[in-house]
Every structure is written in structure tokens, then in C-alpha cells.
Amino acid sequence: MEKREVVLVDAIRTAFGKAGEKGFFWHTRADDMVVRVIRELLRRNPQVKPEMVEENVWGATTQEGDQGLTLGRTSAILAGLPESCAGFSVDRMCAGGMTAVTCAASEIALGACDIAIAGGVEHMGHHPMGATADPNPRFLAERLVSEDALVMGKTAENLHDMFPEITKEMADEFALLSQKKAAKAYEEGKIGRMIVPMTVYTKEGWVVADRDQQPRPDTTLEALRDLRTPFRIQGNVTAGNSSGLNDGACGCLLMSAEMAEKLGVTPKMKLVGFAYAGVKPEVMGLGPIPATHKVFEKTGLSINDMDFIELNEAFAVQALIFMKEFKLKMPDDPRLNPWGGAIAFGHPLASSGPRLMCHLMHEFAESPEAKYGLTTMCVGLGQGGSIIWENLQRKNK
């Protein structure tokens, strides 16, 4: 059997709320956010009838409560997909949604199904990262991993130790650029078109969640400089140069190229290749580097072929080290996160991978001369994931 081409037809997300009681999703279930995304994908693509969707795959880091019970299957039923639609859930921590997409794409590539929905969700207000986890005591007792591996902020401080040339001032400058780019993209209407509004109940009553809560467009270097360093005395990592704790969902509609042609659907991107790689858990932010080298090796492409790079900004230091490795212009390469990143928008763990794809899809639409783009991210406990996409919205293909 020959491998089939897999295309991304559409991607959409909810707004990203702040985790906790001040967030507008505090009284909203995670699975209802997923349902909103699924229904919007189908509404936006009427050629795809519900009965055509054969698989529904969702990533979530904490698979319990409103994110449990095989979310891929339960959300399919809740969204009104037919009983014939299968579904499952995956967990690769921050890359859960990315893994959901590559799992679904693999099914399509091998002919197991023709059309799938895949994405990620995280309600960090209901399910703080690792809150109910019970790590095997051997991890620490036998020193299989450093205790820092279980605290993401400490892993970022470790990166500063490894790369002392990446200073706190550089991290703060990168964070400021992320906020400014996001603010500009909002002003120009680029971000709003990616968000499906959702009416939610809050302590102020019913409101429409249609704009991310995390961005701080009024951020200044002076304000960033004065923030405390909670993970180390006189450290480098602050709330300002890190991603936030957030709630949100993002999903993609995938299908085979043949099915897209049959339905008369115009696909936006083609999946060229993907790879995952492991690193030491206590320096998990290095993950995108080996994963990206690996996908370049497997596809024969290079960083010079990438017109856009959507890198999840878990921490500024991690993004800067990636830029250093691939010789990108620091701190503001025009190819990297041109509309801002997770430091501005937030990082609801498993939903962030599909958000990168959603951004890339829209960047491709505005740049029909662009051919290739990379979506890449680090993963808790020491992994990285990278996917290369080809722009199908080009003038001269």
C-alpha cells in the first residue's frame, strides 16, 4: 500500500482563558470546549457531512474529570457525530494535540480512514498540571531523573545554566517582542479570525469568550525586569518571560488529498513529515532541536527551506536556544512567530500544538509565495515534536 497524502483543510480554536477563578472558562467544561471546536469545523466546511468523519482524536495532559473517559469518543457523541465515528485520546503532555494530529494523519496516510478531526484541550483551572499524578518513587530515589524535571520552571533555569550567554535581559526582550507582535496581530484582525466565540457563564454572568485573556500589550522591559524569579533566588525565569497557565481548545480537520478533491474542498496545507525526539527531562526545553534535526533528515529539507517557523514559547530561554541552534536572527527573526507566541497568547498544554498549525495556516494564506513551514514545541519530561507543512495556498505551486 502506498502512503497517501494528508492535507489540513481547516483549523480553529477557542479563545484562551486564564486558568483559575478569574478565567472566563472557570465554569465551563473542557469537553464542551472541544464540542464547540468540532461543530465549528463542520459548520465552516459544509461539504464535510458529520457521517463522513471517521475518527476523532484529542490530546489532553490530565485525563480525568471533564477531560477523561476517552475524550475523543465522548466529544464525538456530544458534538453530534454519528455512532460510526470512532474516537480516542492521547497524552504527550504539551504535545498532546500535536500527537493527536499526527496519529490521525497516520491513519489517513495508511488508508485506515479518509476524514478525521484532531486537536487538543487543556483546562488547567480544573486540572493543574500534575496535580493528581503519582510519579513512581524510583524516578527520584534511583536518580533516574532530576527532581527539577517535575517543575517546568526549574527546567528553564537549567537551560540558562547550560547557555549562560542567554541572559535574563535577552529573555525579557524576547518576551516583550512576543507581546508586541501579538498586540499588532490583534489590531490587524489576524487573531480574531482564528477564534470561535463561545458563550460562557462567569461570576459576572453570561459573556462571550472571543478574545484571549493572557496577552499584556502594555508590557514594558522595565516591568519585566522587576518581576520575581519564583524558581530560583536571583534566577532568570519569571512569569513575564514564560507562557501562562491557561484553558482552551484547538482542533483541525484532516483528510486525504484524494477525498479533498472528491468533495471539492480546498485544502490549506499538506503534511510533509513529522518527528518526535527525547532529551534529558531536566532540560526538556531542548526538545525541539533534535526533533527538528530529525524531521529535516527524514524529509531532506533544512531550516533554510522554512518560510515560517511556529515555535511554542514555553519559556523565552528555550525559544532563544532554538534560534541559536538554527542560526536564526536573534531576538526577532521575521520567520519565527511573526504574530507572537505562547508567552503572549498562553499555553493550555495539549491545545498548543494545533494552535501553531492554525497560525501557520493563516500565515500561509497571507503569504502565497511561501512554500514550507515548521511547527515545533518542547514537551514536559524531556521530548520535542516537529512537523513540516507545505503551503497549498500558493500562487505558483
Which residues belong to the active site? 94, 347, 378
Measured between alpha carbons, how far is 384 from 54 in angstroms, rounded to an integer? 28
Residue 132, phi then psi, degrees to nearest 5: -110, 10
Handedness of CA 92, 390, 13, 36 (dihedral sign): negative
Q: What is the 3-state secondary structure (H, E, C) of the chain?
A: CCCCCEEEEEEEECCCEECCCCCCCCCCCHHHHHHHHHHHHHHHCCCCCHHHCCEEEEECCCCCHHHCCCHHHHHHHHCCCCCCCEEEEECECECHHHHHHHHHHHHHHCCCCCEEEEEEEEECCCCCCCCCCCCCCHHHHCCCCCHHHHCHHHHHHHHHHHCCCCCHHHHHHHHHHHHHHHHHHHHCCCCHHHECCEEEEECCEEEEECCCCCCCCCCCHHHHHCCCCCCCCCCCCCCCCECCCEEEEEEEEEEEHHHHHHHCCCCCEEEEEEEEEECCHHHHHHCHHHHHHHHHHHHCCCHHHEEEEEECCCEHHHHHHHHHHCCCCCCCCCCECCCCCHHHHCCCHHHHHHHHHHHHHHHHHHCCCCCEEEEEEEECCCEEEEEEEEECCCCCC
Pairing state between β 55-59 and 86-90: parallel
